Amino acid sequence: MHHVGMTVTDLAAAVAFFEALGMELEGEAHMEGGFVDGVIGLEGSRSRIAMLRTPDGRYRIEFSEFQAPEAVDGSSHAPINALGLRHVAFAVDDLDGTLARLRPHGAELVGNVETYRDVLRTCYVRGPEGILLELSASLT
């Protein structure tokens, strides 16, 4: 896998949130023209993108903010049992510290922080645009 792509309406907020999570901005670009239109199947598209990577460089998330055509609602606040891509999971060293860093960026717990068999603490968090994250910290 090279990356996961997400469309947002506020690129700066998405980048700030995921940087607070510990991801690193790899680059930003303006995208438009025949090549892009041909790949994504939309005519006259214009967007800004940002690629973020995990600190180890293994995983990436690409965020796209479309100026044209206007973004359409993809049920960003759908519950976890809705069909389709629902969440992205991150292993973190300090769950409480991570939550503290994300809250100023709009993170909200979906349920509770739970402990599984004294091995793992985990929770779901909604971030900007309703992006659903699973955060887990090993207790061993």
Are 10 and 63 contained in the same domain? yes
Q: In the numeric block, which tokens belong to residue 134?
A: 């699973």
- The one-letter code for the residue type at 38 is G
* 30 lies in some domain: yes
* 92 lies in some domain: yes
* 81 lies in some domain: no
Last-in-domain residue among 68, 103, 120: 68
pLDDT at 86: 83
Range of the domain at 9: 4-68
Number of folded domains in the chain?
2
Q: Report pLDDT digits (tens) over 2-41.
A: 899 999 999 999 999 999 999 999 999 999 999 999 998 9
**Model pTM?**
0.89
Q: Which residues of the chain have pLDDT under 50?
A: none
* 18 lies in some domain: yes
Last-in-domain residue among 39, 68, 97: 68
Which CATH number fits the domain that encloses residue 12? 3.10.180.10
Interatomic CA distance for residues 102 and 3, integer angstroms: 22
Are 60 and 96 contained in the same domain? no
Q: How far is CA 40 from each of CA 34, 46, 91, 108, 124, rounded to the nearest angstrom?
A: 10, 11, 31, 32, 30
Diameter of the chain measured on Cα atoms = 54
